[in-house]
Structure 1
C-alpha cells in the first residue's frame, strides 16, 4: 500500500541509506553538488517517489500477500455520472440518439468515467445538454454544468501528467455540448484548434498510443475541417502520422465491401491543402474533383436506396444506422465537391463546371430535405454541409431555397445562427485562398 512520499534526491545520494538523504542531495540541476564533486552521473534528480509497504493478511485458512494496490471502485458520484450517461445511450430514436455525435466513442465513454475530474464533468455536461432537448430540463442548469466542465478542462490542460488521450476525449465532449446548448459561438470556439494542437503534441512527444486508434479517424476529420477555415492549422507530417494509426482500413470499407476513394480522409486532407494555394495546385484540384465526380452518382444512388429502405422499415435500427453513415459520407463529398468546383471556376468559367455546380446544389438540397425526419440530433451534419455549399460560391441558382433550409435547421438549437456562420465561413475560405 502507498505510504508517504519519499525523497526527491538523486539515486546516488539515496544509496547512502541515510534518513537525511534529502539533505545530502541538494537537487541542483542538471547535476547535484555531491555528484558534481565526485564526477559521477546524477540520475533521478528531483523525481517524486512513493514508498509502498507490503501487508500480510492472515485468516484461519491461508495467508494472503498484497503486493499491488487494487484500482479503487467508483464513488457514488462517479457511478451516478456513468449510469446517467448509460441511460441516454439507451435512447435508440434517431432523432435523440446521442451516438449520432460520436458512435463508438460514446459507447466506450462509460468505462472511462472516474479517470479524470475534467472528463467526468464533461460527461455530466453531455447528459445535462441532452436532457434540455429530450426531457426539456433547464438550459440554465445545463449551462452551469457546462461552465464547470470548461473550468475543469482548463486545469486538465495545464496538467502535464494528464494523459493526452483523456484531454482529447474531454475536449470532444465539450465541443459536442457547445453545439447543443451554446451553438452561437461554436464555429469561432477554439476546441477544434485545441484538438489539433494536442494531436501534434502527441506525435512530437511519441505519445500517440495514449489516443485510442478507433477514434483517430473522427478526430482527424474534425482537424481537417478546422484546417479549411483556420490557416493556423497546417496539415503537416504530424497529421499523416496520426492518421496512419487509425484502426480502420483506408479507404473506409462500407457495406458489401464498397470503398470510395473520394470519401477517404487522406484524399480530402490533400484537397484541403491544395485549396490553400489554388493557382499553384490547380491540376491537383482538378484531379481530386474528377474523382469525386466519378464516384458521386454511385454514392447518390446508394443513399437513395437506403433512404427508401429506412422509410419502409423505420423500426429497424440497423437500416437507419447504415443510411446515416452513407448520408454523412455523401454530405462530405458534396461539400468538398462544391469547394473544389468553386476554386476551379475562378480560373475556368466553363459551362460544364457551372452545370456541375448546379447539380451539386440540387443534390445538397435533396439530401437536406430527406433528413428532416432525423431532427434534431440525427441530422446535425446537415447544417454543417449546407453552410459549406452556401459559402463555396455566390451563384444565385436555388440560393434562396438553400438559405431557407439553413434557417429551417437553425431552429433545432436555440441560439444557433447558421446563416451568419455561413457568411463567416465564406470570408474564411476567401482569406485562406488569398494566403491571408
Structure 2
C-alpha cells in the first residue's frame, strides 16, 4: 500500500532507521538500550477514504441503493475487534506463551507447557482469571525493564483475595484451575520479588492442595501437565520447609506421571528426589540421637548411585548437542531448544546430586570420595552457568538455584568467589534496582541446612 512501511520493525528502530531483528516481545536493540519495544514484528496498515467518480443519481435512486446496502450490511456484518476484558486478557496471555515469542521471554518455555491450556479455561475460575491478569502485567513490566509498579502489586493482591475465596469453596478448592492459579502466583512471585525468605508460601499452598485432593486425574492432560510442572518445586520446597509432609505413598503418586512414562531415567530421577526429604528428616533424627536407622545409609547410597548414572547420561547428551551448535544459531532452532532443555535438566540433577552428597557426608564423614564428587558437581554448575547466558533472563531462571547449591558443595574460596560473582549477575535480572542479591550470611544458613548442621530446623525445634 503506498505510503505505508513494508517492514515490520518496531517503532524505535523504524524511527531511527535501524535494522530490527523483530524479536518478540522486545527486539535486541530495544533490549540492549533498555527501551520499551512497541510494534516489533507487526505489519502496518493505512486506511484511506476512497473517492470515486460516477454518474449522478436521483434522490430516489440514492434512497433505494442505501436501503439495499443497509440490508446487505445487516446480513453480512463483519464482527468488530474483540474488546471485552476477558478476550483482551486472553490475547495478552497468549502473546507471552506464543511459539513466536523469544525463548528468553517465553513463559511456557520457562515454566511449563501447561500454560498452553490456560487461555481456554479463562472465565471459569475467578482465581485463575485474576492470577493471569497479575502475571501478564508483571511479565510485561519485566520484559520492558519497568520494575515493579503499583498496578502489578494491586493485581497481585486482588489475585490473592480471589484465591482465598476459591479455597473457601470445597468444590473450587480441589479444581485444577485453582491449583493452576497457585502456580501462576508462584511464577508472579519471581517477577515482583516478594519471596525474600527461603520458603515460598504459594508452593507450600500448592503442596497442601495436592495433599488434600489425594489424587490427580490421569485422564486430564491439563492436570497431568500441571502436576508434572509442580512436582519439582514441591519436592525442593519440602527440603527446606518441614510443613510439607507427604507419606511415601503420596510422594509416589505425585512423582509418577503418565506424560513422562516413556522416559525411564526421568521416572528414576523423580523417585530418587521424592525420597530425599524423608532421608533428610531421618538423618537428622539419627544425628540427634533419637534412635538408630541401620538401613538409611544404604538406601541413600543406592539412590545416589542411580542419580550419578543419570548425570553421566545427561552429560553425554549435552556434549553431543553442543557439538552441533554453531555461533549465531537462532534461538528458535530445534538444536538450541534441545540444548536449553538439557542444560536445565542437567543443572537440576547436579543440584540434587550435591544435596545427596551433603546428607551422605553428614552420616559418613570418613568418605572422602563424596567431597571430591561434590567439588566436581560445583565446577560443572559454574561451567553450565557461564554457557547459559544466551538464554537470559527467563530461560535461565533456575540457574541461581543451581549456583547456591554449587556454593554449598565446595569449600574452595576461589570457586566460591566465582560462584558469588556469577550468582549476582544472574539475580540482577530480577532485582534491578531493588534489594541486593543473596548475601553471604544467607548462603551460610542454607549451607548449614543442607549439611544437616541445624538438627532442629524451623518447626522441628524441640519445645521446652
Q: 2:353 aligns with which of 337, 348, 353?
A: 337
Q: 1:340 to 1:118 in 2, by over 3 A?
A: same
Give me the whole-angstrom Cα distance separating, in 2, the residues matched to 1:224 and 1:407.
Answer: 25
Q: Specify which of 174, 188, 197 is matched with residue 177 of structure 1.
A: 188
Residue 298 of structure 2: aligned partner: 283
**Cα shift at 1:187:** 3.5
Match of 1:352 in 2: 369
Match of 2:382? Answer: 365
Q: Which of 151, 168, 186 is the aligned partner of 1:158?
A: 168
What residue number does 1:302 align with?
Answer: 317
Matched, 1:124 2:133: yes
Task: Map 1:53-72 onto structure 2 (within 5 A).
Answer: none
Residues 424 and 263 of structure 1: CA distance in aligned 2, closer, same or farther (over 3 Å): farther
Q: How far did 1:393 drift? A: 5.8
Cα offset, 1:303, TM superposition: 1.6
User: Residue 61 of structure 1 aligns with which residue?
Assistant: none
Distance 1:186 1:112 in 2: 32
Is the CA contact (8 Å cut-off) linking 1:199 and 1:208 kept in structure 2? no
CA contact (8 A) 2:141 2:147 kept: yes
| Structural mapping, 1:14-93, within 5 Å | 76-90=84-98, 91-93=100-102
The alignment yields a C-alpha RMSD, in angstroms, of: 2.7
Matched residue, 1:267 = 272
Provide closer, same or farther for how the CA distance between residues 381 and 290 of structure 1 changes in structure 2, counting only shifts above 3 A.
same
TM-score normalised over the length of structure 1: 0.74
8 Å CA contact retained: 1:383, 1:418: no
8 Å Cα contact 1:227-1:235 kept in structure 2: no
Q: Distance in 2 between matches of 1:267 and 1:399?
A: 27
Alignment gaps of 5+ in structure 1: 1-73, 254-258
> After superposition, where does 1:192-203 map in structure 2 within 5 Å?
192-203=203-214
What SS is found at the alignment partner of 1:417? coil
* 165-174 vs 414-423, greater mean Cα deviation: 414-423
Is the contact between residue 358 and residue 397 of structure 1 (CA under 8 Å) also seen in structure 2?
no
Q: Does 1:243 align with 2:255?
A: yes
Q: Describe the superposition over 1:242-291 as per-residue Cα deviations: whole angstroms up to 9, x where unpaired.
A: 434x22134x62xxxxx426862112112332222235311111122222
How far 1:428 sits from its partner (Å)? 3.7
Residue 215 and residue 151 in structure 1: after superposition, are their counterparts in 2 closer, same or farther (change >3 A)?
same
Alpha-carbon separation, structure 1, partners of 2:454 and 2:274: 15
Structure-2-length-normalised TM-score: 0.70
8 Å contact kept, 2:448–2:454: no
Per the alignment, do residues 324 and 315 of structure 1 end up closer, same or farther by CA in structure 2, a change over 3 Å counting?
closer
Gaps of 5+ in 2: 1-81, 287-292
The 1:94–1:75 alpha-carbon spacing in structure 2 relative to 1, beyond 3 Å, is closer
Within 2, Cα distance between the matches of 1:311 and 1:158? Answer: 54
Runs of 4+ in 1 over 6 A off after TM superposition: 206-211
CA distance, structure 2, for counterparts of residue 144 and residue 304 of structure 1? 46
Q: Distance in 2 between matches of 1:425 and 1:262?
A: 28
Aligned residues: 355
Deviation at 1:129, TM superposition (A): 1.1
